[in-house]
Amino acid sequence: MPDSGDSSSRPSRPRVVIVGCGFAGMQAARALRKADADITVVDRRNHHLFQPLLYQVATAGLSPADIASPIRRIFRGQRNVRVLLDEVTGIDTGARTVHLDHDRLDYDYLVLAAGATHSYFGHDDWQAVAPGLKTIDDATEIRRRILLAFERAEHEDSEPARRTELTFVVVGGGPTGVELAGAIKEIAAQTIPRDFRAIDTRTTRVVLIEGGDRLLGSFDPSLSARAKRDLEKLGIEVILNTYVTDLKPGIVTMDEDTIRAGNVFWAAGVQASPLAEALGVELDDLGRVPVEPDLSVPGFPEIFVVGDMAAAKQRNGSGDLVPGVAQGALQGGEHVGRIIARELNGTPRSDRPPFRYKDKGSMATIGRARAVAEIGRFKFGGFFAWVLWGLIHVMFLVEFRNRVLVMLQWVWNWFAFSRGARLITGGREPTDSPAPPRALKEQPEPAE
Amino acid sequence: MPDSGDSSSRPSRPRVVIVGCGFAGMQAARALRKADADITVVDRRNHHLFQPLLYQVATAGLSPADIASPIRRIFRGQRNVRVLLDEVTGIDTGARTVHLDHDRLDYDYLVLAAGATHSYFGHDDWQAVAPGLKTIDDATEIRRRILLAFERAEHEDSEPARRTELTFVVVGGGPTGVELAGAIKEIAAQTIPRDFRAIDTRTTRVVLIEGGDRLLGSFDPSLSARAKRDLEKLGIEVILNTYVTDLKPGIVTMDEDTIRAGNVFWAAGVQASPLAEALGVELDDLGRVPVEPDLSVPGFPEIFVVGDMAAAKQRNGSGDLVPGVAQGALQGGEHVGRIIARELNGTPRSDRPPFRYKDKGSMATIGRARAVAEIGRFKFGGFFAWVLWGLIHVMFLVEFRNRVLVMLQWVWNWFAFSRGARLITGGREPTDSPAPPRALKEQPEPAE
């Protein structure tokens, strides 16, 4: 490229390394757009993912590329950023060096924004039975499982086995669990009934299990109740105050009760990326880094942790932590990017402002035309909340292209009662076929 | 479903089994839409794939779902069709039974339309080095390899290794090879140059190797020459009269010459699906079934073979076979569906018309705004051919939704010099990470 060596030829410019390009990392890099610095954004994936809509990929409503943007494309015009597809293997906080799988980066400022991963509360073997939803590959795997369940049921002659295939359990009643359960029921009840001949997909059983005493625990209790009522109206069974105690293929165990379910999805717990351990500081019980008010790591003012990896106290007197949502990550990234930009311009470290999280509201969809929303003092649900949810999510998508494609497909899916991305991909390779088909003429069967 | 048992409760209706729902199988089932018969469409994938645009998925221009339609959706309104996701394990032509992995189907008429697969001319070990392009999973794998090559090159310090990463070889100069080579060069030269900092992607080398003495062997020689000229103008090296004699990771060998190439894609040879062997009849050298003029199997008037699995003679005096293109498959499927429909209505078998293939023309794109086309006596190239290519391909897409999405993205990609689906997915699972990142404080490195 014309300006290759942009970063390497001027070693005197301050070096900022940002690990992870989710909402937090992306926003930190953007806030540094005018900084006279060499910024390196490292991610082990080549795309920024709009996670709030990931459940729509998992339920065949959208294509992966509709909610993902190449990180290079995002920063193509920001010439102080270079992007590396790589994975962190270690951090040397003394030498101020990040070790990557294929490289090594010195830094003056380090921003860690690697997000969160599923937590199975010590039962890692449950992952194979009940996949979670964090990446594009997770989403296409869940999509594969949902669509295959109906295909297997159509084949199945035994009624109990068919019932098992047509039973879906979603573990965890947060926004992801609520949205996933609603979308699965919508597919079964509205999208595909006419596509099958042997089964009635409208009899599909969807069970949502939550350990706490209400759904959407971070929302106002009135909305939790409304969400439960709306889900139950759709025919979804909501079980509260109940923990899953064992998961085996086909069987979900909760204390004494069991459910025979061919399909289980995990939306129950998250923990911080294991990258947090590389700092060598004490972590909280979810593996997050307890950060200072400015979001820096105690003892390392040049290292910041933002987004789901950080345990940051809200400064509203409640003592609550900043929630692990897109807004928290965006605002944290912006805050840290601005601090670094100011200090690169000469502002002393002692002038760092604390991070103040501004709650702009929460929303979750419930099936085809319902949602609950909480914006400031306003708490409401129903069709209007759903439209608002759609508009806000489209607005926050990263590329104009994606906004158009998502809008178009939503309108289409809505009017056609359709889901456009009903593809079963991945899984067993066709070439794994045990043996080529055989001519069976010689077989002792009665010829007509 | 309301009408479950549609097929099983009336065993007296004639049973038609169609294996494969590509162009040929889909069209055969559609031609039977008014038939009083129980039609079963069996496919091992849940979607019909619009293969002519598959190279655009492999080159990140379109999403998989844009060119694929759920088979169930296609036939949801055709109530005499049921769809099974299954794989044929054998055919008993005496008992008139198709054995599936999970089922067994008796038939009165059998239509085999399972298409073709790659042929490595006896070198099956080449497949891992040079994947071919037949399925959605093939396409996302090729996309992954193309995008990863640039990522690795950006990382690479050694100039020879970087050159190898930035060298792409496409083996086979038919339409797929020509279109793939053109699209790769277009990505490298126009889509991504500004996205990278260390490499100049415009220096990417793309080599197209063809064994025959011209590209697009099935086209008029004047268009072969034009395609070669247009590709070379784009900077693609075209090598004719040359066979690949060995493929190893990183090295392509042709007789004496070798090319160091990190990326090789296979568009050279196809052979019929191994399903053809299940008939127990003699096959031609590409594994195809030599069919009667009515497309039935010699000795089995109740079995038809259509599409890429059939070796059907053209009835224009040339002795040529019907080419393995979408038009041949669509027309063959239509022909066979009509024969069956007529006979179900009482027309005797002796009245079967022979299949007459009508060549409606051939087209292939060459990069961003060029194509070659041959329609009847008209042979032309350039921008107009490219627009016509686009219109015709959009027109033939199966769902209206897909037509809109494909058009929209083409227009977008064209004006933005963009490729919207630049996702690296699949491959190594993130959880395969050898070890969690480590704190490296204790390491004996010089602290600043």
Based on the structure, what is the number of domains in chain B? 2
Q: Which residues of B touch A412 (CB under 8 A)?
A: 401, 404
DSSP bridge pairs for B160: none
List strands edge to edge, sheet with B237-239: B237-239, B205-209, B167-171, B263-266
A192 plus A164 within the same structural domain: yes
Q: Which residues of B touch A135 (CB under 8 A)?
A: 430
Structure confidence by residue, pLDDT tens digits, B241-282: 999 999 999 999 998 899 999 999 999 988 999 999 999 999
B137 plus B256 within the same structural domain: yes
| Among candidates A3, A278, A445 on the partner chain, residue whose Cβ is nearest the Cβ of B95 | A445
pLDDT for position A241: 96
Chain A residue with CA closest to B192: the answer is A73
Average pLDDT over residues A377-400: 90
Would you mind telling me the total number of residues written for chain A in this entry?
A: 448
CA atoms of B263 and B322, how far apart (whole Å): 33
Q: Which residues of B touch A447 (CB under 8 A)?
A: 94-95
Inter-chain touch B92–A441, beta carbons under 8 Å: yes
B232 plus B313 within the same structural domain: no
Is A410 among the domain residues?
Answer: no
Q: At which of A336, A351, A366 does a domain end? A: A351
CA dist B321 to B218, B284, B332, Å? 11, 12, 12
Instruction: Please state, as a whole number, how many other Cβ atoms lie within 10 Å of the Cβ of residue A289.
Output: 26
CA atoms of B178 and B171, how far apart (whole Å): 10
Is A394 among the domain residues?
Answer: no
Alpha-carbon Rg for chain B, nearest whole angstrom, is 24
The three-state secondary structure class of B17 is: strand
B106 plus B229 within the same structural domain: no
Q: What percent of chain A has pLDDT over 90?
A: 80
Q: How confident is the model at residue A151 (pLDDT cuts 50, 70, 90)?
A: very high
Average pLDDT over residues A341-363: 94
Is B164 among the domain residues?
Answer: yes
Q: At which of B351, B383, B410 does a domain end? A: B351
DSSP bridge pairs for A112: A19, A305
Q: Which domain holds residue A113?
A: 15-44+86-118+270-351
A263 plus A138 within the same structural domain: yes
Q: How confident is the model at residue B430 (pLDDT cuts 50, 70, 90)?
A: very low
Q: Residue B179 catalytic?
A: yes
| Probe site for chain A from B69, B72, B397 (most A CB atoms < 10 A) | B72
Single out the catalytic residue among A156, A165, A179, A374: A179
Is B388 among the domain residues?
Answer: no
Amino acid (one-letter) located at A233: K
B251 plus B334 within the same structural domain: no
Highest averaged pLDDT of the listed ranges A309-323, A369-383, A423-437, B138-152: B138-152
B275 plus B308 within the same structural domain: yes
Taking 90 as the threshold, does the pLDDT of residue A416 lie above it?
no
Q: Which residues of A touch B422 (CB under 8 A)?
A: 46-47, 65, 70, 73
A277 plus A260 within the same structural domain: no
Taking 80 as the threshold, does the pLDDT of residue A344 lie above it?
yes
| Measured distance between the N- and C-terminal CA atoms of chain A, rounded to whole angstroms | 72
| Probe site for chain A from B74, B425, B433, B448 (most A CB atoms < 10 A) | B425
**Pairing assessment for the beta strands B97-100 and B104-106 based on DSSP bridges:** antiparallel
What is the CATH number for A102? 3.50.50.60
Chain A residue with CA closest to B435: the answer is A89
Inter-chain touch A447–B95, beta carbons under 8 Å: yes
Instruction: Please state, as a whole number, how many other Cβ atoms lie within 10 Å of the Cβ of residue B379.
Output: 18
Is A170 among the domain residues?
Answer: yes
- How close B152 gets to chain A, by Cα (Å)? 8
Taking 60 as the threshold, does the pLDDT of residue A34 lie above it?
yes
Nearest one of B247, B255, B59 to B169, comparing CA atoms: B247
- How far is C-alpha B109 from the geometric centre of its chain's CA atoms? 27
A222 plus A162 within the same structural domain: yes
Is B167 among the domain residues?
Answer: yes
Q: Which residues of B touch A44 (CB under 8 A)?
A: 430
- How close A192 gets to chain B, by Cα (Å)? 8
> How many A/B residue pairs have CB atoms within 8 Å?
269
Asked if residues A399 and A47 have their Cβ atoms less than 8 Å apart, the reply is no
Inter-chain touch B63–A421, beta carbons under 8 Å: yes
Q: How confident is the model at residue B416 (pLDDT cuts 50, 70, 90)?
A: confident
Q: Which residues of A touch B45 (CB under 8 A)?
A: 424
Nearest one of A79, A78, A48 to A65, comparing CA atoms: A48
| Among candidates A85, A92, A147 on the partner chain, residue whose Cβ is nearest the Cβ of B445 | A92
| Probe site for chain A from B39, B87, B195 (most A CB atoms < 10 A) | B195
pLDDT for position A432: 43
Taking 90 as the threshold, does the pLDDT of residue B181 lie above it?
yes
Q: At which of B230, B252, B268 does a domain end? A: B268
CA atoms of A54 and A61, how far apart (whole Å): 10
B220 plus B321 within the same structural domain: no
| Probe site for chain B from A86, A126, A133, A423 (most B CB atoms < 10 A) | A423
Inter-chain touch A88–B45, beta carbons under 8 Å: no
Chain B residue with CA closest to A4: the answer is B198
| Among candidates A66, A277, A426 on the partner chain, residue whose Cβ is nearest the Cβ of B426 | A426
Report helix angle B23-31 to B326-344, nearest 10.
30
Taking 70 as the threshold, does the pLDDT of residue B71 lie above it?
yes
Average pLDDT over residues B384-403: 89
pLDDT for position A445: 42
A135 plus A259 within the same structural domain: yes
Q: Which residues of B touch A430 (CB under 8 A)?
A: 44, 135
Would you mind telling me the total number of residues written for chain B in this entry?
A: 448
Q: How confident is the model at residue A368 (pLDDT cuts 50, 70, 90)?
A: confident
| Among candidates B1, B85, B155 on the partner chain, residue whose Cβ is nearest the Cβ of A197 | B1
State the pTM of this model. 0.91
Nearest one of B322, B325, B319 to B310, comparing CA atoms: B322
Strands annotated E in B157-281: 167-171, 205-209, 237-239, 246-248, 251-254, 257-260, 263-266, 270-272
A311 plus A189 within the same structural domain: no
- How close B197 gets to chain A, by Cα (Å)? 5
Is A391 among the domain residues?
Answer: no
Is A385 among the domain residues?
Answer: no
The least confident of A4-8, B297-301, B333-337 is A4-8
